[in-house]
Each structure stands twice: as C-alpha cells, then as structure tokens.
Amino acid sequence: MTKYLVGLALIFASNIALAANCTIDIEANDAMKFNQQNLTIDSSCKKVTLTLKHTGKLPANAMGHNWVMTKGADLMEIANAGMAAGLNNNYLPTGDSRIIAATKIIGGGQSDTIEIDTSKLTKGGDYAFFCSFPGHWAIMKGKVTVI
C-alpha cells in the first residue's frame, strides 16, 4: 500500500512540474524599453494572464506604456491608427478586431493585468507585441511565440 501511495505521489508531482506556465510578467520603463523582447505562450493554457508593470516614475501622459498583441503584419497599421485615437482610448483604434489583447496605458509605478484567450492563437503563428504610445512602437516591440 505504501509503494502504491508513493507512486501516486510521484505521478502527481511530475504532473505539477510539467504544468504549463500560464502567466507572463513584463516590465516597461522610462527609457522606452520592455525587459523582454521574446515571449512564449503555451497553447495548452486556455488563458494566459499577463501583467505589465511600469517601473519608471513618469506619468502616463508623458511616458505611458501599454502592451498590445497583434499579428506581426498588423503592428504598424494599428500603431499608426492608435496615434489618432488618443490617450483616452489607450492609443488604440476602438473596436479593431486585429487587436488580440491589450493593457491600458499606465504611468510610472502602475501595473495592469489582462487575460489572453489562447483559442484565438495558432501554434507557430506570427504574433507581435508593442507599446502603442505615440512613437514608442518603433523601439518597444517584440515577438510572441505560441508553442
């Protein structure tokens, strides 16, 4: 009986060790940089929780940042359309279905958490993330890989 219980405990522990990481933490700063340029999303997660933290000190209207996920081909068009949308719309075109996920614009010391529905993603698809604050997307961008 003891061997049976030990075996079950080992199987349970190995399943925990193999469980997908369904959370992403990413930081942005006053130097217009994300602390990561490549993110991985495990398709076995039904939802991924992403938290953006602004580690700088400047306010949202001066050096605000958000995290926006799109297909790679849509990044530039969405970023350009976002400039006209303004800060009140988080520098994103309202109702644009090409935006897969996005946080709100935050300032220094603030954070925002969102959930990404992985059913909208394809393994191996071409996905990008960026900050849509005017002028930031050219520097503040990266790649999202779905495995």
Residue 42 predicted with pLDDT over 70: yes
Asked whether the beta carbons of 68 and 130 are under 8 A apart, the reply is yes
Cα–Cα distance between 76 and 51 in angstroms, integer?
A: 23
Structural domains in the chain?
A: 22-146 (2.60.40.420)
Q: Tell me the average pLDDT across 80-100.
A: 95
Query: Does the pTM exceed 0.75?
Result: yes
- Residue 2 — very low, low, confident or very high, per pLDDT cuts 50/70/90? low
The CA–CA distances, whole Å, from 133 to 1, 60, 125 equal 62, 9, 25
